Amino acid sequence: MRVVALGGGHGTAVSLRALKALGHEVTGVVSVADDGGSSGRLRAMLHVAAVGDLRKCLVALADPDNPLTASFEHRFGVGELAGHAVGNLLLVGLIDATGSVEESVAALAQVMGVSGTILPASCEGVELVAATEDGPARGQSTVRASRAIRRVGLEPATPAAPIAAVEAIERADAVVIGPGSLFTSVLAACIVPGITQALAGTAALRVLVANLHPEEAETTGMSLVEHLEALAGHGIWPDVVLVDQASPFAREQIACPRVVAELAGDNGRVHDVQKLSLVLQAILDQKGRGV
């Protein structure tokens, strides 16, 4: 089966690991709107796309025995390089030299033994902007700390999506959205116009992996229904929602089908790869049988 994981950061990396374990044809479509940490510093310095989420997702699908994979997440501890990850430096170096995010990611994927494909959600770096209770907010880090986010957008407003990303969604049997920060990760990838249009037109089963709990500031106090309303307000309609059985969201009734299962890891803060993999396989098996 052809499966796409869509979003950014740690959440989409978990989904990619879960899908990789199932042996399907996997594509990750990843936000490049990050502006914090090492990725944000490099972006401000070199005016290139944010690479931190791409780095995490490359590692998720890479050969674990590859020496480059083992060092990709290493961070320097001293001097001007303090805090920078090796993978971020390699990615921005290639982007600066080639001018292409997509080609740079593909080049590193080849040497890291990536099983699948990682693509940026947009062909260029974008800045996340939002309308919030406190007024306009600009930049992913600022938006993440804002209260009562009403809507998010991008600058430039209509960045191009890679043709390969659009085609992967259009041809997919299933698209796994999230988990991850609703506005600053999931929607940051989904609202690239070409991605939104592909999601609306695909025959794929659109699976939302709900977060384990609301996030401080960004989604404080938001119910699962409100999460779905926020997605719908940006043109994103999941066909089925996966909810952890211990999550407060599990007690809610929603309009679309849902699957409640044990999905959280031992610490209750992140999804367990093996548990998520088993539930996704069951859903994909149903899709394959036309259920």
The separation between CA 274 and the C-alpha centre of its own chain, rounded to angstroms, equals 19
* CATH number, residue 163: 3.40.50.10680
Q: What was the pLDDT predicted at 199?
A: 98
81: in domain: no
96: in domain: no
Contacts of residue 232, Cβ cutoff 8 Å, sequence gap at least 6: none
Residue showing tokens 């592909």: 198
In the chain, the number of structural domains is 1
Residue from 275, 175, 259, 255 nearest 210 by CA: 259
- 193 is in which domain, residue-wise? 2-33+117-288
Contact between 288 and 2 (Cβ < 8 Å): no
Residue showing tokens 């921005």: 92
Q: What was the pLDDT predicted at 46?
A: 67
80: in domain: no
pTM, 2 dp:
0.94
129: in domain: yes
How far is the C-alpha of 13 from the C-alpha of 180, rounded, in Å? 10
What is the Cβ-side half-sphere exposure of residue 36, based on CA atoms within 13 angstroms? 13
- Give the amino acid at 13: A
22: in domain: yes
Q: DSSP per residue over 153-191, as a string? A: EEESSSPPPPHHHHHHHHH-SEEEE-SS-IIIIIHHHHT
93: in domain: no
How far is the C-alpha of 55 from the C-alpha of 59, rounded, in Å? 6
Tokens linked to 179: 């988990």
Residue showing tokens 């959600």: 121
249: in domain: yes
**Helix 9-20 / helix 273-288 crossing angle, nearest 10 deg:** 60
The separation between CA 7 and the C-alpha centre of its own chain, rounded to angstroms, equals 2
Tokens linked to 251: 């007690």
Report the SS3 class of residue 194. helix
pLDDT tens string 67-103: 899 899 888 887 777 777 888 899 999 998 999 999 9
Report the SS3 class of residue 132. strand
Q: What was the pLDDT predicted at 39?
A: 65
Mark the ranges of the chain whose per-residue pLDDT is less than 50: none
Q: What was the pLDDT predicted at 215?
A: 84
Contact between 159 and 187 (Cβ < 8 Å): no
How far is the C-alpha of 196 from the C-alpha of 201, rounded, in Å? 9
Distances (CA, A) of 273 to 54, 109, 233: 19, 21, 30
Per-position b or e across 257-280, b if 16+ CB within 10 A of its CB: ebbbbebbbeeeebbbbebbbbbb
215: in domain: yes
Tokens linked to 171: 């041809």
Q: What was the pLDDT predicted at 26?
A: 98
